[in-house]
Structure 1
Amino acid sequence: MGLGGIVNCRCWKDAGLDGPIGFDEDGWFDLLDSTDPVAYRWYEAGCEHRDFSLAHEDLGSWGGQSAVRQTCTEIGWDLLPTLRAVLPTTNDGWIPVADVPAVLAELDVFESRAGMVTETVLVDEETGQGIYSCVAANLSIIGWNRALQAGIDQDGFFVRSTRLIPRTVFRATRFTQRELRGGRVEFAGDQGTARLRLFLVGHVMPVTPSRLAVVTRNQSADGWSHWIGSMRRLCAAALATGNPVKWT
């Protein structure tokens, strides 16, 4: 599951039904007075928009939302105070329409500064394609089983035991991987070799990589274009309707 954002239409306002129809205390659009026959009939069949929605945007996974917040932290929340207040951590909450102009201004700041923030990326050395990433000094857990946990951080790729006494059983900045019999994988890197009962890294890709490396580089501002564009479209709809952006 991920995060979405919606902005409701203003058809009920144009129909003169602002009052019996509107937003409840949790920010959800609803029929507030079911005893009003005109409002009830309109709510049932009076709007041309599906689910009374004028705009809807898919804002990506919760992992992506975490990366947004991590990037905001690196940029500096003092430059993004409104985003700090309204960015969701769950599928509820909203951006009040009064805050939308400030959000738009802070999106401009985010866009101009995101490229100054570093990211750590696990790449397929043969293609240069990024597979997993984490922002600045954060780490990313990319998979696990009952006994082992794999991830990346600023020091490279790691596999660590999750048993009673945790310990790192493999670490490398550059490594190869190959599948062995019995559900085991051999990792061979610049800090040694390990044969572990684990998955092949990047096995969900069309071609599973055999040579991998962890690199640190500046983020590409273009990498945020989908999220920024979606946020701007939601904000534009909010200004056009006078309605909040609601997280879903």
Structure 2
Amino acid sequence: MGLDASVRCNCWERGLTRPTPLASRIVIDEEGYPALKDDDDPDFGMFWEWLQTCCVHPGMKQAHEHLANWHGYREFLQALHQAGDAERFPTLFDNLPEANGGLAPAAVASRMLAELSDFEQSARFGQRFVLLDSTSGDELRSASASHEFVLTSELRLGVDAEGFFVVSGDADVLFRSKRFTQALLAPEGSDPVRSGPALLTDLDSGRSFRCALAMPGPDIAWPDGRMQNDAGQCRSSYPTAVHFEMRDRTNADFNYIVEPLRILCSAAIETGNPIRWS
């Protein structure tokens, strides 16, 4: 789940698409993409199959990029605010979406590129709160504001400026720590992302807390080697020791979204077609 975007190619207008008997029933819709005139056309399946292979661009997309999950996208927006806000990046703030859907006109793509380059020159990106696996040193979670990453109606696990926390559904703080160990008290449950219970022990105070949920680590493969089982579930690892750090953010922290945005803007400039958020 998150934000994706694409830019359509011009193969249809240039006559570079594979012939189809549906040609007379194809129009360019309000988002600038080929569609059938009739939403209830019985040959939609045939049209969809043709669209995927009708030219050298799958789905007739000159560019198609995954930008970020929603947490990563909001982190980028927050960094834009900290680096200069809408006064410095007016085109980005006017055209980046608030949700899935919408268009950014090709006419603004060159200004978006210039503002992305300006963003990378900024020295003001703030700090981020990081949870690390104390054994491997790998980052487990990162946020620039209080972020809850495991939620149920009864418990919320997250990270903020004070470190890792567990709070109840009523917002009572049940456990806080900047250095703790985790021991699973039962095998993985039916929900691989929320296994538990687990014993969390703060290494500074020695206080332990029996948490109904375990602090998850990176996804790992199921025993059959797949990353998702038949039910579409991912399986988490569970670190045995975790610690907290405050780290300065740099422009490199946002390459995951800046580079895809550059690709999309370049494609919009080349084709004259808008960027479609999805």
TM-score tier by shorter-chain length is 0.7 to 0.9
* Aligned residue number for residue 2 of structure 2: 2
- Note the C-alpha offset of 1:244: 0.6
User: Please, which of 148, 158, 162 is the counterpart of residue 155 of structure 2?
Assistant: 148
CA distance in 2 between counterparts of 1:5 and 1:192 reads 48
Instruction: Answer whether contact 1:2 1:61 (CA < 8 A) is retained.
Output: yes
Question: Does 2:183 align with 1:178?
Answer: yes
Question: Does 2:243 align with 1:216?
Answer: no
Instruction: Answer whether contact 1:114 1:219 (CA < 8 A) is retained.
Output: no
CA distance in 2 between counterparts of 1:121 and 1:139 reads 11
SS of aligned partner of 1:234:
helix
Higher fraction of helix: 1
- Note the C-alpha offset of 1:224: 2.1
User: Which one-letter code corresponds to 1:94 in the other structure?
Assistant: L
* Aligned residue number for residue 143 of structure 2: 134
User: Please, which of 200, 220, 230 is the counterpart of residue 187 of structure 1?
Assistant: 200
CA distance in 1 between counterparts of 2:123 and 2:253 reads 9
User: Which one-letter code corresponds to 1:193 in the other structure?
Assistant: R
The 5 Å alignment of 1:49-198 reads 49-77=57-85, 78-113=87-122, 116-135=125-144, 138-163=145-170, 166-181=171-186, 183-189=196-202, 190-191=204-205, 193-198=207-212
Higher fraction of strand: 1
TM-score, structure 2 as length reference: 0.74
CA distance in 1 between counterparts of 2:273 and 2:215 reads 45
Q: 1:209 to 1:32 in 2, by over 3 A?
A: closer
* Aligned residue number for residue 199 of structure 1: 213
Q: 1:139 to 1:61 in 2, by over 3 A?
A: same
Number of residue pairs matched by the alignment: 232
Q: 1:203 to 1:122 in 2, by over 3 A?
A: closer
* Aligned residue number for residue 23 of structure 2: none
User: Which one-letter code corresponds to 2:212 in the other structure?
Assistant: L
* Aligned residue number for residue 29 of structure 1: 33
User: Which one-letter code corresponds to 2:114 in the other structure?
Assistant: A
Instruction: Answer whether contact 1:71 1:114 (CA < 8 A) is retained.
Output: no
- Note the C-alpha offset of 1:193: 2.1
CA distance in 2 between counterparts of 1:218 and 1:133 reads 11
- Note the C-alpha offset of 1:200: 2.3
Cα distance per residue 1:135-154 (max 9 Å; x no partner): 1xx11102123311110001
Using the TM superposition, name which of 175-184 and 209-218 deviates more: 175-184
CA distance in 2 between counterparts of 1:81 and 1:170 reads 42
Gaps of 5+ in 2: 16-25, 39-47, 188-195, 221-236
User: Which one-letter code corresponds to 2:180 in the other structure?
Assistant: F
Instruction: Answer whether contact 1:170 1:192 (CA < 8 A) is retained.
Output: no
* Aligned residue number for residue 11 of structure 1: 11
Gaps of 5+ in 1: 35-42
